[in-house]
Amino acid sequence: MRRGAGISRRRPCGTFGVLAAALAAAVVGCSGTSTTPAGPIGTATSSGVAPSASAQATGAPFTLPVAHSTVWLCRPGMAKNPCDGGLDATVVRADGTEQREPFTPAKDPKVDCFYVYPTLSSARTVNAPLASSPEAIATTRSQAARFASACRLFVPVYRQITLAGLFSGKITPQARQLAADDLTSAWHDYLDHDNNGRGVVLIGHSQGAFALDALMRQEVDRSASERRQLVSALLMGGNVLVPPGKDVGGDFTQIPACRTPTQHGCVVAYSMFDAQPPNPSLFGRGDSPANGTLGNPAKGLQVLCTNPAALAGGRAALHPYLPAQKSSTAASGKPAATPLAGTGFVAPLDLVHAECRNSGGASWLQVDSDGKTGPLRQKFVAALGPVWGLHVYDINGAEGDLVALVKQQAAAWSEPASR
């Protein structure tokens, strides 16, 4: 995989449990660098591919290379779009009262959202098929469908490394490149045929966040034209790296952390934990030797943390939108809240608060749950163990804040030519 500009980093393939090593190898590779240039849209260097002879002769515009027809999981205008419908929420107040919150798609949004889903495929092959699946639909609906209240939603299918592939020990460079090439091709397809100069928000979680981080390093961070279209990038659970105390540098040289709700061309990144990440840990550490398997072995860098509920810093209440089928039972296994009929999400108020912390070589979003009061009596639990933290909640645990942020960024967005 190509590397973007910035600090050069070796990527040793050490071991940190089979799953950790495989997860990292699946999305970021292990070693080597490349200096393939990436330039602005409409220039030969944006993909390393020169324009056709006819384009050179006529001066006609040419497009970015698309490897194959994109399989869209969701996109505007799709017949029977699986991202539509059933997105109403049950808001649960601290006094136990419930209220239906209708979901309203944006009528004419100013910006688009381009979402890449996390590891989810149950296929028995190393790479997932290039086809929609029930798992991809369910996860996309859970994590991304509600962003349609702020933007047009585009979700490409990609041949990601599967769950079986993670455990197989048979992940090859070709398998990793297949997933990366699908994402690059879909991104180019979107830019060529759908963007039309609109602003775009990149959204990814886990393998999806690592994949978008790589695409941004390789292309977006190095292309002035693509950066001008970037409203923001929301990369949760993807270990975006910056120098200690800095908002830019490391992974990206031109794309800083978002610190105000109306800032554009910036990144929101964090990993949720309910306690300081252990050493080693899969997320939240830029200096752990084990993090080499995750593509972040560079000493002297730290993982970026931006609190989506308080971009400038400090502690604030998060606004979760939890899938209804997963919210009807508390962490203890006892009944909690019963969602109102026909609602796909539960939105509990005053359940969790969060703030970014930096201690002991780790940087993370500390999430404190109120498991004693409130109708849900539900804690966010690190069910996968301390090295994963609250990874499964990275998006849903703050989905209300993330969607609200995109709405604010979209409201302040203007076409690049007028900015």
Q: Does a structural domain hold residue 203?
A: yes
Q: How many domains does the chain have?
A: 1
In the chain, the percentage of residues whose pLDDT exceeds 70 is 76
Rounded to 5 degrees, what are φ and ψ at 56? -65, -40
Q: Does a structural domain hold residue 149?
A: yes
For position 313, what pLDDT does the model report? 96
What predicted TM-score, i.e. pTM, was given to this entire model? 0.84
Euclidean distance between CA atoms 271 and 257, whole angstroms: 14
Q: How confident is the model at residue 27 (pLDDT cuts 50, 70, 90)?
A: very low
Alpha helices in 273-341 (DSSP H): 324-327
Q: Does a structural domain hold residue 176?
A: yes
Pairing of β 98-101 and β 89-92: antiparallel
216-240 pLDDT, tens per residue? 999 999 999 999 999 999 999 999 9
For position 58, what pLDDT does the model report? 33
310-356 pLDDT, tens per residue? 999 999 999 999 998 755 444 433 444 567 888 999 998 888 899 99
Rounded to 5 degrees, what are φ and ψ at 231? -70, -55
Q: Does a structural domain hold residue 236?
A: yes
Q: How confident is the model at residue 414 (pLDDT cuts 50, 70, 90)?
A: confident
Q: List, in sequence order, every beta strand (DSSP E) within 224-334.
A: 230-236, 241-242, 266-270, 272-273, 302-303, 316-317, 322-323
Domain limits for position 28: 17-32+67-78+97-412
**Residue 219 burial (CB < 10 Å; 0-12/13-18/19+)?**
buried
Q: Does a structural domain hold residue 89?
A: no
Q: What value does the mean pLDDT take over residues 110-118?
A: 97
Q: Does a structural domain hold residue 52?
A: no
Give the number of residues written for the chain: 419
Please check the confidence at residue 15 and state whether its pLDDT lies above 70.
no
For position 326, what pLDDT does the model report? 57
Q: Does a structural domain hold residue 386?
A: yes
Residues with Cβ within 8 Å of 363's Cβ and at least 6 positions away in sequence, in order, are 284, 285, 286, 302, 303, 304, 305, 356, 357
Euclidean distance between CA atoms 121 and 293, whole angstroms: 21
Q: Does a structural domain hold residue 363?
A: yes
